[in-house]
Amino acid sequence: MQRPGFLRAGSIIFASSVALGLSALASNMNLPEQNTVSSNALQPGGTTEQTQTDLQTAPQPADPSEAAAGIGDDVLTETWATLGDFNSDGHPDYVLRNGSTLQTAIWYLNNNVFITGALGPSIRAGWSLDGVADFNRNAHPDYALFNPGTDQTAIWYMSGPTRVSTAFGSTLPDGWELRQTADFNGDGFPDYVLFNSTSNQTAIWYLNNNLYVRGAFGPTLPVNWSLVGVADFDGNGHRDYVLFNVSNHQTAIWYLSGSTFIRGAFGPTIPSGWALVATADFNGDGHPDYVVYNPATRQTAIWYLFNNIFVSAALGPSLPAGWSLVGP
């Protein structure tokens, strides 16, 4: 595997620079003093809790030609959701974002069913929440942030929905953005997945907590396809790419070994008005599932998969007005 010269740590802040950066980050990325459980704002909007028996109203895989014909202006492009198990119950939880206030919130789920909600930290203007993973290995998912104006990354260390501390991560080269976080080399530390929108190239930056270790090119994505999730679909211990094509709503799994492309397989086609935004194992069967989202209705749904094969679907909670499951 060719090791790109620009993927070396020449532009990365280490040692004393990090020490200086921590105080600067703390002053420039102010957060609320506390995170409280909302009594009303953080409840599902529009629907009550759904269960796996709601298959008759959950979206089903579409014929690719029908999906393409129904694409409208409200279809999400180059956006993805962040998920994590914030209460350590073994079930993935939603991270919600409020585009007006930049507030985040955690929706605790049991499979597809909403349990309760809690406010998380507010994201500072100019930064985006691009990943959730446990960077310091304390069993609590952390926020991975990216500033496209400076190419700086940062880790917000969390305990449940509460920010505990902050550290700068690596500064990305010009033209690259942070797209996903996952452990690609099996060392127990999440790594960065980078994306270059000009070349469609991906790259893996291997990390130790917030520190850069080394980098390697990943596969280049085809035109019209975007990377919306990372998970182990074939159960071989290696993280795979989940791709979504906004032009025809087709999905695909790219099976990887580390940063190396092995093979690809189509997944189910998403119906019009919906987008694939994330992947995680919601029913605990050891197989990652799709999270699909309708931005017009703010409805979510879980598609249960066996590898790349659609098995069944269930509605998830609908989000309140002003809140979204995807960026910034």
What does residue 177 show for φ and ψ, rounded to 5 degrees? -135, 155
Q: Residue 327: its pLDDT value, please?
A: 80
What's the chain's average pLDDT? 83
Q: Model confidence over 153-203: pLDDT tens digits? A: 999 999 999 999 999 999 999 999 999 999 999 999 999 999 999 999 999
Q: Residue 68: its pLDDT value, please?
A: 37
Distance separating alpha carbons of residues 316 and 115, to the nearest angstrom? 11
SS3 224: coil
Token output for 170: 């690596």
Q: How far is CA 200 from CA 101, 143, 176, 203, in A?
A: 32, 25, 10, 10
Order of all β-strands in the sheet with 275-280: 275-280, 289-294, 299-306, 309-318
Q: Residue 57: its pLDDT value, please?
A: 56
Cβ atoms of 276 and 251 closer than 8 Å: yes
Q: Residue 77: its pLDDT value, please?
A: 53
SS3 110: strand
Residue ranges, the chain, pLDDT below 70: 1-78, 328
Q: Residue 86: its pLDDT value, please?
A: 98
Report whether the peptide linkage leading into residue 328 is cis, meaning its omega lies within 30 degrees of zero. Answer: yes
Distance separating alpha carbons of residues 300 and 225, to the nearest angstrom? 21
Alpha-carbon Rg for the chain, nearest whole angstrom, is 19
Cβ atoms of 37 and 105 closer than 8 Å: no
Question: Helices H, strands E: what count in the chain?
Answer: 2, 21
Cβ neighbours of residue 27 closer than 8 Å, sequence gap 6 or more: none
What does residue 16 show for φ and ψ, rounded to 5 degrees? -65, -30
Q: Residue 59: its pLDDT value, please?
A: 63
SS3 232: coil
Q: How far is CA 47 from CA 155, 277, 299, 320, 327, in A?
A: 34, 20, 9, 10, 23
Distance separating alpha carbons of residues 160 and 157, to the nearest angstrom? 10
Cβ atoms of 31 and 122 closer than 8 Å: yes
Q: Residue 245: its pLDDT value, please?
A: 95
Q: Residue 79: its pLDDT value, please?
A: 84
Q: Residue 179: its pLDDT value, please?
A: 97
